[in-house]
Amino acid sequence: MKKHGILNRDIARVLAGMGHTDSIVIADCGLPIPAGVECIDLSVTLGSPDFFSVLDAVLADFQCEQALFASESREHNPAVVHSAEGLAASGCAVRMVPHEEFKAACRQARAIIRTGEASPYANVVLYSGVIF
CATH number at residue 44: 3.40.1650.10
Question: Which of 46-58 are b and which e, b meaning 16 or more Cβ less than 10 Å from the residue's Cβ?
Answer: eeebbbbebbebb
Choose, from 4, 20, 76, 82, the residue flagged as catalytic: 20
| pLDDT confidence band for 4 (50 / 70 / 90) | confident
Question: Which of 12-35 are b and which e, b meaning 16 or more Cβ less than 10 Å from the residue's Cβ?
Answer: eebbeebeeebbbbbbbbebebee
Q: How many domains does the chain have?
A: 1
Q: Is residue 15 part of a domain?
A: no
Q: Is residue 6 part of a domain?
A: no
Q: Is residue 9 part of a domain?
A: no
Q: Is residue 112 part of a domain?
A: yes
Q: Is residue 11 part of a domain?
A: no
4 is catalytic: no
| pLDDT confidence band for 2 (50 / 70 / 90) | confident
Supply the range of the domain harboring residue 42: 23-123
Q: Is residue 14 part of a domain?
A: no
User: Does residue 123 have a known ligand-binding role?
Assistant: yes
Q: Is residue 18 part of a domain?
A: no
Residue range 21-47, pLDDT digits in tens = 999 999 999 999 999 999 999 999 999
User: Does residue 127 have a known ligand-binding role?
Assistant: no
Residue range 74-93, pLDDT digits in tens = 999 999 999 999 999 999 99
Answer whether 12's CB lies under 8 Å from 6's CB: yes
Residue range 98-129, pLDDT digits in tens = 999 999 999 999 999 999 999 999 999 999 99
User: Does residue 121 have a known ligand-binding role?
Assistant: yes
User: Does residue 99 have a known ligand-binding role?
Assistant: yes
Q: Is residue 43 part of a domain?
A: yes
